[in-house]
Structure 1
Amino acid sequence: MTLPDHTDHPRAPALAVTGILARRSFAIRRSTALLGLTLLGLTTAWSGATTWYILRKDDLAARLISRETSRQYAYEDRIAALRADIDRLASRALLDQDGVEARVDEIAMRQAELESKQALVNAVTETLKANGIGVSQAVKSASGPRLIRPEASVRASGVSSYAPLGPAKPTPAPDMPALRGAEERNGDGWQSGELAEPVSPAKRVAEALAQLDQAMDKSGSAQLGLLRHIDRSLGETQKTLRSALSETGLDTDRLATGSSIAKGVGGPFVPIKIDPAAGPFEATLHSLQPRIAAVSRLRELASQLPLRRPIQGDFDMSSNFGYRVDPFTRGPAMHTGIDFRAETGSPIRATAPGKVVTAEYSGGYGNMVEVEHAGGISTRYAHMSAILVSVGQSVVPGTVVGRVGSTGRSTGPHLHYETRIEGDAIDPIRFLKAGDKLAGQL
């Protein structure tokens, strides 16, 4: 478009200047608008970014709050569950503790019963030892089974108390699961194989009490077995004593009833009541008492009879008891004893305990010693070369009463030995045979 030429117009310079300013103003307004638009865009972008950041931050905070809230709830639920477990374990521990205490009380009662029974067993064995009754060496040396205290066994389990020690501070579950097998290896290093499962305190105490039960059962069985063994041994001893004493032809029951009681014992009589229906131990002990008394009486009787040999070692019996040809008259005669050939001076020993009633030269007996024993029994030792005891002297089996000789009516050195009951001569060989059967028990 072509503008009219206003140069010739009187106001032409002014109009030109105005046009120039108008164009410049238009140019300024355009740049300013662009700048403003640019600033407006930046401001809008900044506002949007800020708004987006704030909104994003609030959502993250909400997530964090929600997560922490969930974790807190889980933590509280875990605490509640642990408290419930602790209460349950505490109740179970108290019940277990009551059960253990009841078991310990029961075992303590059994322990006291075993100790009382052991005292009876010890009394029986001590009685047998004191009386020298021939029982087996196992019974003679028996001291009874070893008894165990229940408290010691519980302490030996390594548990002083298995009641809970109070609620431990729980920890929340970790956010990330642990590696597989980390629990087994934690603190134990690398090991081959599987680790043994730990034993709970209650189980250890239960095992200790079970072992104690077994030990007490074993002790009770040992006590009963010992009594039964004593009973069998006493039965054999009683049978041997009766068989041996029957060789003498004496009324052993009458003599045993009247036999003397061992000296040096006594005290008030305090009877012990034993109920045989209470159990096998009591029944065995009840049946054992009369057998012990019978064996003691027979043993005492055997110790009072002249069952030992008057001459120790090897000897030669040159003449028996009974009818024989008299060495001097060559006619029939009654020999009231037995003759033991021995060297002059050989010791002659008493065959039973007693008191010397004669110790002198006595006619055809020569030097003779007579010893009076229990039950109206006496022994005579004749033809001695020397008398070594005196009248009234007490002798025991084995006491040397004189020495072998050939005094009196004798053809050579020997011992003439007699056994008499109420003054009547009986065959001494019967007593010597009984003594041979009881060898080692007298």
Structure 2
Amino acid sequence: MTLPDLADQPRAPALAVTGILARRSFAIRRSTALLGLTLLGLTTAWSGATTWYILRKDDLAARLINRETSRQYAYEDRIAALRADIDRLASRALLDQDGVEARVGEIAMRQAELESKQALVSAVTETLKASGIGITQAAKASPGPRLIKPEATIRASGLSSFAPLGPSRPMPAPDMPALRGAEERSTAPWQSGEAAEPVSPAQRVAEALKQLDQAIDKSGSAQLGTLRNIDRSLGETQKSLRSALSETGLNTERLAASATIAKSVGGPFVPIKVDPAAGPFEATLHSLQPRIAAVSRLRELVGQLPLRRPIPGEIDMSSNFGYRVDPFTRGPAMHTGMDLRAEPGTPIRATAPGKVVTAEYSGGYGNMVEVEHAGGLSTRYAHMSAILVSVGQNVSSGTLVGRVGSTGRSTGPHLHYETRIEGDAMDPIRFLRAGDKLAGQL
């Protein structure tokens, strides 16, 4: 073997090793390159995705910002609209409050007027009662109106309106707000179907004021009806008084004008000023005044005329007034009175108030009492067994003046009863008939 061959022997394995290493280096570089490319692709994709996401996120943020801005503007517009509604409702509430207060003020004025009218009606009825003037049951049964206070009516309706009618004590706020409609559901009975629409406070206030108006109108109508019933009753009383007094044959108008005034009355004169053009109430009251005065005068006259019976019980007349056959001479004679048969000792009473001017034995009259009354009238009671009054004594209707007897020119126990005006004898039966017609008013 030659030397070069020997030299080449150790280089052969080295070349093999170098080739192997070269191939491995190439393989490593390729995988590294692939890994790098992969990483580069991922990085590029991530960068693109990130860039796209960022760009997309900015657009989404812009859209979100725009949407929130639109919502904000919408909320602001809604808030502004709500504020406008609140202002409008507040203005309307103030107007409603002013309207309610004006209505309440008007109702209060009507209430005061109603009370004034009721005072006049009460004064009229008290005057009639004090004068002894009877009225029919229709007028008596007409009660005075029930006076109503505006505040009480509105509070009674259970309202807590936005328009307060006056100062009131504040109520404490509840710890927990009640559910809407809970109170109504707890008290109202169960009902099928849809619930009724709640009534607003303004509507309830308006309804309460309307009811109060109706109540005041009803009370005013009741007052007017009372006056008209009184006027109708006074008309009937005046008619019955005139009809009864016409039985006496006297000039009742003249006697009524000169009738004495009742005792123990007086006071300053305060005329009632009533304008008949103000309304039907005033017109009725104005027309009622002269009727009351006329009936009062007639009542005074009735109280002063000798219309009552001098002895109790039914009239048993044994001899009437006028021409008759004299019981002693059997000739024609004038009988100036009427003879009333009665048992001895029967009480004899004054038929009208007056003053005793004679109380003595007087010839054919026997024991006789003469009482002088108003208007030139006088009455005589004769043939009494006993005289129970004295001259100058004031007597009233029904005062005991004596007892039935048979003194003087008499044929038996009886009462000789006379009525005279200005000294002239008149038929007593006329007065007794008038008294019978007015039996319920004497």
- Shorter-chain TM-score tier: 0.7 to 0.9
Provide the TM-score with structure 2 as the length reference: 0.85
Deviations 1:354-407 (A, max 9, x none): 112222232332222221111111111222222222222211111122222223
Return the offset for 1:352.
0.6
Question: Is residue 2:247 matched to residue 1:221?
Answer: no
Question: Is residue 2:70 matched to residue 1:70?
Answer: yes
What SS class does the counterpart of residue 420 from structure 2 fall into?
strand
Deviations 1:319-362 (A, max 9, x none): 21122222333332222221222222222111111112222232
Q: Is the 8 A contact 1:125 1:139 kept in 2?
A: no
Which residue matches 2:167?
none
The 1:186/1:143 distance shift into structure 2, 3 A limit, reads closer
Return the offset for 1:249.
0.9
The 1:196/1:323 distance shift into structure 2, 3 A limit, reads same
Q: Which runs of 5+ in 1 are unaligned?
A: 1-5, 165-182
For the residues of structure 1 that align with 2:232 and 2:152, how far apart are their CA atoms? 36
Please report the RMSD computed on the Cα atoms of aligned residues, expressed in angstroms.
3.0
- Write the letter of the residue equivalent to 1:376: G
Which residue matches 1:171?
none
- Write the letter of the residue equivalent to 1:136: T
The 1:227/1:163 distance shift into structure 2, 3 A limit, reads closer
What SS class does the counterpart of residue 293 from structure 1 fall into?
helix
- Write the letter of the residue equivalent to 2:285: L
Which residue matches 2:209?
209
The 1:436/1:146 distance shift into structure 2, 3 A limit, reads same
The 1:358/1:186 distance shift into structure 2, 3 A limit, reads closer
What SS class does the counterpart of residue 328 from structure 2 fall into?
coil
Question: Is residue 2:396 matched to residue 1:381?
Answer: no
What SS class does the counterpart of residue 408 from structure 1 fall into?
coil
For the residues of structure 2 that align with 1:185 and 1:158, how far apart are their CA atoms? 17
Q: Which runs of 5+ in 2 are unaligned?
A: 165-179
Question: Is residue 2:328 matched to residue 1:328?
Answer: yes
Which residue matches 1:155?
155
What SS class does the counterpart of residue 244 from structure 1 fall into?
helix
4+ long deviations beyond 6 Å: 183-187
For the residues of structure 1 that align with 2:185 and 2:273, how far apart are their CA atoms? 62
- Write the letter of the residue equivalent to 2:201: P
Q: Is the 8 A contact 1:349 1:399 kept in 2?
A: yes
For the residues of structure 1 that align with 2:314 and 2:428, how far apart are their CA atoms? 18
Which residue matches 2:397?
397
Provide the TM-score with structure 1 as the length reference: 0.85
Q: Is the 8 A contact 2:100 2:163 kept in 1?
A: no
Which residue matches 1:134?
134
- Write the letter of the residue equivalent to 1:13: P
Return the offset for 1:99.
2.3
Write the mapping of 1:12-411 to structure 2, written as runs, cut at 5 A: 12-37=12-37, 39-40=39-40, 61-140=61-140, 144-159=144-159, 161-163=161-163, 192-411=192-411
Deviations 1:227-268 (A, max 9, x none): 222222212211111111111111111111111011222222
For the residues of structure 1 that align with 2:297 and 2:81, how far apart are their CA atoms? 78
What SS class does the counterpart of residue 382 from structure 1 fall into?
strand
Deviations 1:25-68 (A, max 9, x none): 23433444454455556556665666666566556555544443
What SS class does the counterpart of residue 259 from structure 2 fall into?
coil
Q: Is the 8 A contact 1:244 1:437 kept in 2?
A: yes
Deviations 1:175-220 (A, max 9, x none): xxxxxxxx99999598622222222222222222222222222222
Mean Cα displacement is larger for which, 147-156 or 341-350? 147-156
